[in-house]
Amino acid sequence: MVSVVYKSDADTRLDSGVAELLKVQVRGEVILPDDSRYDAARAIWNGMIDKRPSAIVVAADEADVQTVVRFAAQQGLTLSVKGGGHNVAGHAVSEGGITIDLSSLRDVQVDPERRTARVQGGALWADVDEATATHGLATTGGVISSTGVGGLTLGGGIGWLMGRHGMSIDNLLSARVVTADGAVVTASETSHPDLFWAIRGGGGNFGIVTEFEFTLHPVGEVLAGFFAYPVSEAREVFEYYRQFTEDAPEELGCYARISTDPESGMRVVAVAVFWPGDIDEGQRVIQPLRDFKTPLVEMVGPMPYGEWQKAFDAEFPHGRRYYWKSTMVKRLSGNLLDAIVRNAADVELPLTIAVIEWYRGPMNLVPNEATAFASREAEYQIVGIGAWDEPSDDEAGIAWTRKLHRDMQPYSLNRAFLNFDSSDTTDRSATIAAAYGQNWSRLVEIKNRYDPENLFSENNNISPSGA
């Protein structure tokens, strides 16, 4: 029997006097459990998450964020931050505490001369891509455009531009952070550098980021798409994928996966490609994939970068039930590829996906100790994406994802990418500590400096005690 605690039946109502006090202190909306808008306001991307905050505050500005941080500390309430609400573990919603909803703070200001963008904490990557594309610019974001900028960046930031421009945190110039005492500080290489180090991979443990400043890069039309083959050829395709990515230019984005074709209902193996440079050069780079064997489907061609960023949105809709586990890998061994095929080729739940993501380039050149993110040597990530629509499938979906993840561990770095990792009821602290490796003790030290009472605990938590 498997289980995950995502729901509580506890009474989460604030005392009426306390609730009224909160309402008069903020400019934004305060949504309480008896409000008709409450259920919609607490719903997030992962439909498995059914948490009930005492109050949801839709912040109108940075001052509201400061006020709510102070209020939660004074009242002894836990605090969560909802940007895009995409975190698979459901950290965006607080059970019984206060949820700060940043969805009204989505402004993106682009400076095309300096090639920078200032992005408010509630923005989605679609907001950034749209604003920067006007100037032929972009920065490394996610692979689903409705993902929030805040959660993705603070966890490290994986995206299609990594091979050319590094992770999202490698493009972060500064951040405005509301700390646990309600103050606002600017974190950068020259201002609060310890905090700047920690938020680049350390998640929301140290404060609430109300504005990010990113470096932008020229990005025009890209070459992108995928090749799909029968799942019976999965092991052969994976073996070629391993050989191909060992020698391919690092600028190329290249993922492989086993999933279900939505039109035919067939289980297929696919290789997705992304080239951010000259289109003709990109065609030459991916030609070996065309020569490898004839696919069932080839859909590869030039397109705007923003279009490719939205290519997988429909596959991962809001409200579907998700359970993900991931592990970082240095090399793809034959035994690992065998295990993926064995677990993913024939499945009970057709929406489940096993993905191999390839990382090489600027990400690997940054030392592990340079930022909080501590898996710089990883060149692949294996992600088990449990996905289904019916609550009755929860047990089967969770069990499938956990088994795939368990079977990957002998061939991995034994580190999760925490943004892709659903919370478990046991041994969570050990998983988090292992993900940060040699950076753990420094993160605990900085946590004690900026949040000694662990106000910001609704996340992949770094406890001030280090436990």
Angstrom CA distances, 119 to 115, 176, 456, stand at: 13, 10, 22
Q: Which residues pair with 172 in a beta bridge?
A: 214
Q: What SS3 state is found at 93?
A: coil
DSSP assignment of 10-71, as one string?
Answer: S--PPPHHHHHHHHHH-SSEEE-TTSTTHHHHH--S-TT-B---SEEEE-SSHHHHHHHHHH
Q: Taking 50 as the threshold, does the pLDDT of residue 4 lie above it? A: no
**Closest-CA residue to 456 (of 195, 213, 212):** 195
pLDDT tens-digit series, residues 251-281: 999 999 999 999 999 999 999 999 999 999 9
Q: Taking 70 as the threshold, does the pLDDT of residue 283 lie above it? A: yes
pLDDT tens-digit series, residues 169-194: 999 999 999 999 999 999 999 999 99
Q: Taking 70 as the threshold, does the pLDDT of residue 3 lie above it? A: no
* Parallel, antiparallel or unpaired: strands 79-82 and 98-101: parallel
CA–CA gap between residue 311 and residue 221 (Å, rounded):
15
According to the model, what pLDDT value does residue 209 have?
A: 98
In the DSSP assignment, the letter for residue 231 is G
Q: What SS3 state is found at 416?
A: coil
Sign of CA pseudo-dihedral 417, 192, 64, 148: negative
User: Is the pLDDT higher at 337 or at 20?
Assistant: 337
Asked whether 376 and 363 are in contact (CB, 8 A), the reply is yes
Q: Can you state the percent helix, strand and coil of the chain, rounding each to 5?
A: 35, 25, 40
Q: What pLDDT band is residue 340 in, cutting at 50, 70 and 90?
A: very high
CA–CA gap between residue 32 and residue 13 (Å, rounded):
8
CA–CA gap between residue 85 and residue 91 (Å, rounded):
8
Query: Which residues, at least 6 apart from 210, have a Cβ–Cβ distance to it below 8 Å?
Result: 62, 65, 102, 105, 120, 121, 176, 177, 178, 184
Q: Taking 70 as the threshold, does the pLDDT of residue 25 lie above it? A: yes
Q: How many CB atoms lie within 10 A of CB 88?
A: 22
pLDDT tens-digit series, residues 341-394: 999 999 999 999 999 999 989 999 999 999 999 999 999 999 999 999 999 999
Q: Taking 50 as the threshold, does the pLDDT of residue 2 lie above it? A: no
Q: Taking 80 as the threshold, does the pLDDT of residue 426 lie above it? A: no
CA–CA gap between residue 37 and residue 32 (Å, rounded):
9
CA–CA gap between residue 332 and residue 404 (Å, rounded):
15
According to the model, what pLDDT value does residue 13 have?
A: 72
pLDDT tens-digit series, residues 201-259: 999 999 999 999 999 999 999 999 999 999 999 999 999 999 999 999 999 999 999 99
Q: Taking 60 as the threshold, does the pLDDT of residue 7 lie above it? A: no
**Percent of the chain having pLDDT more than 90?**
92
* Parallel, antiparallel or unpaired: strands 380-388 and 297-304: unpaired
According to the model, what pLDDT value does residue 12 have?
A: 62
